[in-house]
Amino acid sequence: MPPTCPQDLATLIAFPTVSSRPVTAIAAFLAERFEAMGFSIERFDDPRDATKTNVVCAVGPADTDGLVLSGHMDVVPTEGQPWTSDPFVMRTLANGRLVGRGTADMKGFIAACLSGISRLDLRKLKRQIVLVWTHDEEVGCHGSAHLAQTLQLTGRKLPSACWIGEPTEFQILRQHAGHVGVEIALTGAAAHSAYPDLGANAIVAAGRAVNALDELAAHWRQSYDGPRGVPLNIGNIGGGAAINIVPDRCIIQLGFRPLPGMGHEGLVSQLQRCLDDVRLPDGTALKSHVLRVTPSLQTREGTPLQTLLSPHAAVQETGTAGYATDGGNLARVGCEPLIYGPGSIQVAHQADEYIDTAALLLAADQVEAVIRSRCY
């Protein structure tokens, strides 16, 4: 007897794949399970960290524009949250809720894929199924970024129909904003605070940069369409060594969210021009660099996958995700990603995260049905 879908989910939850930890064990488990079903397996290791890998599993005739099913293997931390039991030991409540870190976001979908696909005769496929299991989605979609970059180098494309099973309570989401992180370093010269003229105060320089950035944030709120424009958040600042030393260094970190379909390069240039215009105190200097980019997503209305998912969807209108996903990166390699899956984002990232057994089983049925329609 193959494991049931909730049993598979319990196994997946037991891998404590918080983004700061390895994903090698869960990757090996998924590779073994899908290989046993007839998939061929490729691993895309992170060149900077041997404990991080993406697993890509493929079955069926190549270059047939079949279906991508994708999810991230990592989960967010549990420290400091009021969990009522071990987050990595799945519990079943009397009302059918399955509780554990990652049940909703998004190992539930991975379990649904294991279950739904195991019911199919994969030798009869007319179109290919490609499974993309990524690492480090929760900390900036690093895994899918590296995967997309690697595939682009070899000119390889993935099938256009791409289903990312984030918890959307079965609503189809086809767009989201991106996220760009930027770090600004202000430098000055240290001196005894009794002799400020001998130094150059990097924190005062940072204050001027913050004022300029705040004006840019207001400009972006008004200049771009969308409910909140392009939000720019100055999220972190640090500098100085002691109350009686003129500080020689201050670091500012900020993030902003390009709207769906909007590239980030133009916004980065605007930010750079804004920083170039800051009137810095004598003896101080400023340098900025982009820390990371998670691309936005804008999939057109009416893709073939949307047509296949719509009959199953809880609501017919498509929506916008309030968070970034691997979809922005996968769109660079031929995919038209849709975000759609069981569970609620409202309980994700929280203590006692859960998914309803009924939603999990429904997702497995939907995986099976969509593959039957698209790939047979």
Residues lying near Zn ion in the complex (CB under 5 A): 105-106, 166
Closer residue to Zn ion, CB minimum distance, 101 or 374 = 101
Quote the least distance from Cβ 354 to Zn ion, whole Å: 15
Two structure tokens written together for 342: 């069981």
Q: Which residue is nearest to Zn ion (CB)?
A: 105
Phi, psi at residue 364, to the nearest 5°? Answer: -65, -40
Question: Minimum distance between the CB of residue 204 and Zn ion, rounded to whole angstroms?
Answer: 41
Q: Among residues 106 and 148, whose Cβ is nearest to Zn ion? A: 106
Q: C-beta of 106: minimal distance to Zn ion in Å?
A: 5
Residue 129 φ then ψ, to 5° = -105, 130
The nearest distance, CB 103 to Zn ion, in angstroms, is: 12
Angle at 318 between CA 312 and CA 322, to 5 degrees: 115
| Residue 105: CB minimum distance to Zn ion, A | 4
Q: Which of 269, 252, 248 is nearest to 207 (CA)?
A: 252
Residue 224 Cβ, how far from Zn ion at the closest point, in Å?
A: 26
Handedness of CA 9, 14, 17, 18 (dihedral sign): positive
User: Judged by CB, which is closer to Zn ion: 70, or 284?
Assistant: 70
Cβ proximity of 159 and 304 under 8 Å: no
Helices (H) and strands (E) in the chain, counts: 9, 18
- The tally of CA atoms less than 13 A away on the side-chain side of residue 130 is 25
Residue 98 pairs in a beta bridge with: 92, 355
Q: Which is nearer to Zn ion, 78 or 118 (CB)?
A: 78
Q: 5-13 and 357-375 are packed helices; what angle lies between their axes, rounded to 10 degrees? A: 110
Q: Of 133 and 220, which has the nearer Cβ to Zn ion?
A: 133
In terms of CB distance, is 105 or 248 closer to Zn ion?
Answer: 105
